[in-house]
Structure formats: structure tokens, C-alpha cells
Chains A and B, each alone.
Chain A
Amino acid sequence: MSAQTDERIDGYARGLFELAKAEGTLDEVEDELFRFARSYESNDDLRDALSDDQIPPSKRQAIVEDLLGGSATPTTVQLISMVVGSGRGRDLPAIVDRMVQRAASAKDLEVAEVRSAVELTADQQDRLKAALANATGKNVALKVIVDPSVLGGLVATVGDTVIDDTVRTRLDQLKSRL
């Protein structure tokens, strides 16, 4: 990633952060943006549609509004539409990740990205947050991604620390040994 691109991503992330903060929905918008970014990464069709320069910006924005219209806050929809409409759809995950890091830093937290095969209950998330804080020695902002490919268990990434106890990883290790 070039310095210019990095600077641009950082600029967009800062813009998203300030707008969400100004709207007073930072936590909710941050969470929705994070989930959308993960969906964007894992869905080839969605990624192709939103990053295709041949599709007019208004069409791409319409796709975003169709997808999120009823399930996300208007601020989230507007922010994603803005990024996609300006032709930066390809950088959306990086922008969102930077924005999430910025939001966590503002609250003196470290982002803890957790992948799970199943949805975690609020109680599980609270206990997991406490467990990760205990294990890493940092206050964490938990971002849970439901990822069926892990099959079972969890993998948590906090900064450079990765705690992996998924069935997928165990199966991969088993395959490697076989």
C-alpha cells in the first residue's frame, strides 16, 4: 500500500469517525460498519459490484441502500454510500478497520476481532471481553464476526496477538500431520 493510499484511507477513516461521533451514534455505526466490511470481504459478488468503476456511482449507492436500508442506521448507510460513491469501495474494509481502531483508541481500547462459527450472546461477549483483557493486559473493544468457516471455537486477534482455538485450525493441523 502506497503512502498516498494510506493517507487517503486514514483521511476517510477520520472523516467517518468524526461524522459518526458528531451524530452521537459512534458505537452503533462503528459496529455496523465493521460487520459490513467483513461481509464485503467475504462476498465476492458484493465486492465486485461495489468496486466496479464501470457501474455508475448512483447505482452502487443504490445497491448499498437496498442492502442496508432496513437493517442499519441511516448514518451507517450514508457513510458507506459516500465511500462507495466516491469510488473507494475497494478500500472500504481498510477504511472501516482504521476507523474502528481510531474509535477504540479514542476510548483507550484495543480492537479485539473475534471470529466465531455461531452468534455470541451478550453475556458471552462480556465474559470474552473480560477474558481477553485479562489475557492481553489491555482493555479491548470486542468486534465479533460470525464466520462459519471456523466450524467451531473462536479465534481472537488483539493487535499482534492471535489466540486461535478453532476446529478449523485443529483440522488444518491434523491434515498437515497426516
Chain B
Amino acid sequence: MSALFLAVEDPSQTHHWLFPEGYELLFGSLATAIVLGLLIWKAGPTLKKGFTGRTERVQKELDDAAETLAAARVEADRIREVRGDIDSERRQLLAEADERAAALINEGRARLAAEIAEMETKADADIAAVNSRASDEMRSEIGHLAAMTADQVVEQTLDDETRQRLVEDFISRVGASQPAEASS
């Protein structure tokens, strides 16, 4: 309607180049009030509902965020706790590993020492056995040679006179003995 008034009036005829006429101001204000009233009456609840929903949604999101934050904090605490357990477990494992390694090293050293001692003992025994065997073999060889030599010397030096003397010695010795002394 204002546009209609504007269209039919000549701008140059208005009382002021900026302010409308009084009736225009009145009707304009009434129309504005009606429009605003209609808007408040019809769109107000919807807008209010929308704002309330948005507020609730934002609040829910805030609550969810807070809940998530709390859960994250709990999870962080749990992770810290687990990490602490892991650290403790790691320290324990490392300590056990160190202990086991030390035990293995000690055991290995002891075994090595025992083996070395055993090898030394065996080597000593082997050396003694070789010495003894060599000595025995030498004695045996000397004995064998001496026996062979004795055989040859005796056979060569036993003449008839010696043999007869041995016979006579036997007869004299046996003849002088008593029955209990006879066996030899």
C-alpha cells in the first residue's frame, strides 16, 4: 500500500524528502505491529521450539563431550596405570633376564672350569699312563732280551761236566732231605 502511495504521489510534492507522511507512518506502524504480532503468534513457538531444541542439542553435545572427556580421562588413567604396570613388568623382566644371564654366565664359568680341570686331570692321567706303559714296555723288552740272552748263555755254557755236577747236586740234595721236604 505504501508503494501504491508512493507510486501515485509525486516525490517532489511531499512535505519532507526523508520522513513519510503521518498516515503512512501510522499505517506502516500498524502493519508492522500486525506482522510482528503474526510472526510472534505463529512463528514464535516454532522459533522458541527450535531454539530450545538447539539449546538441548548443544547441551547434549556438551554433555556428550563432557562424558567423552571423562571417559577419555578414565581411559588415560587406565592407560597410565597400564603403562605403569608395563614399566614395572618390563623392569621385572629385565631384572629376571639379568639374573638369569648372570646365573647362566656363572654356571657356564663353573662348567668350563670343571671341564678344564677334568681335561687337565685326564691329560695328567694319560701322560702318567703313557709313561707307565712306555716304562712297562721297556722293562718287558729288557726282560725279554735278558731272558733270551740268559737262555743262549746258559745253553752255550752248560757243558757235560756242569750237567753231571748238577745231577750230583740233585742226588745229594734229595738224598739229604726228609719226606716232608721233598716236594718243590
Contact = CB atoms under 8 A, between A and B. Distances in A.
Contacts of A164: 184
Contacts of A174: 147, 150
Interface stretch (B4-12, B102-110, B157-165): B157-165
B147 A165 contact: no
A120 B166 CA distance: 12
> Chain B interface: which size bin?
20 to 34
B142 A156 contact: no
A136 B174 CA distance: 9
Nearest to A156: B174
Contacts of B173: 165
A122 to B, nearest CB: 13
B163 A152 contact: yes
B171 A124 contact: yes
A171 B150 CA distance: 8
A135 B184 CA distance: 12
A161 B184 CA distance: 8
A162 B183 contact: yes
> Chain A interface: which size bin?
20 to 34
Contact of B170 (A137, A153, A160, A162): A153
Contact of B158 (A152, A156, A162, A163): A152
A116 interface: yes
Contacts of A131: 171-172, 174-175
A68 interface: no
Nearest to A127: B171
Given A135-B181, A135-B182, A154 B170 contact: yes
Given A151-B154, A156-B174, A171-B150, A163 B166 contact: no
Contacts of A117: 158, 163
Interface string B57-84: 0000000000000000000000000000
A55 interface: no
A136 B166 contact: no
Contacts of B182: 135-136, 161, 163
A152 B166 contact: yes
Contacts of B170: 128, 153-154, 163, 165
B142 A135 contact: no
Given A117-B158, A131-B171, A156-B174, 7 more contacts: A127-B175, A134-B174, A152-B158, A152-B163, A160-B183, A165-B184, A171-B147
Interface of A: 116-118, 120, 124, 127-128, 130-132, 134-137, 151-154, 156, 160-165, 167, 171, 174-175, 178
21 contacts: A117-B158, A124-B168, A131-B175, A132-B174, A152-B154, A152-B163, A152-B166, A153-B167, A154-B166, A154-B167, A161-B182, A162-B183, A162-B184, A163-B174, A165-B166, A165-B169, A167-B154, A171-B147, A171-B151, A178-B144, A178-B146
